[in-house]
């Protein structure tokens, strides 16, 4: 049986290394559904294993954080990313040029 889109999303996010981030669109593409960015957000909102599936490493393509980060808000997400050494720009967005995870496939 082929894994569901949600299972594929979780598999991709599990692969994002410490100190790196991906965009919702990247996750969708790597999960095999390039137009499913919103579904990525829905799946991460229901993350069954927040200590295993590092959804805090998923950000918007411009590096901004989700205001409603499910596990405590954007400040918590920012703190987790800062603790991992993720670089932010002067506007408070993740510096995607420095911190984006580049993966051909998960």
Beta-carbon-side half-sphere exposure of residue 85 (alpha carbons within 13 Å)? 5
Q: How far apart are CA 2 and CA 19, in angstroms?
A: 30
What is the Rg, in whole angstroms, of the alpha carbon atoms belonging to the chain? 13
The answer to whether residue 66 is catalytic is no
Those residues whose C-beta lies under 8 Å from the C-beta of residue 20, and which sit 6 or more positions away, are 57, 86, 99, 100, 101
Choose the catalytic residue: 9, 29, 31, 55: 55
Q: Which residues are catalytic?
A: 55
């Amino acid at each position: 049986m082929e894994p569901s889109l949600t299972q594929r999303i979780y598999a991709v996010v599990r692969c994002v290394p410490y100190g790196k981030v991906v965009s919702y669109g990247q996750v969708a593409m790597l999960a095999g559904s390039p137009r499913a960015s919103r579904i990525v957000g829905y799946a991460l909102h229901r993350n069954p294993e927040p200590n295993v599936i590092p959804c805090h490493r998923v950000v918007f393509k411009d590096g901004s954080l989700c205001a409603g980060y499910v596990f405590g808000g954007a400040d918590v997400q920012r703190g987790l990313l800062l603790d991992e050494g993720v670089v932010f720009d002067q506007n408070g967005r993740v510096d995607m040029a420095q911190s984006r995870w580049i993966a051909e496939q998960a």
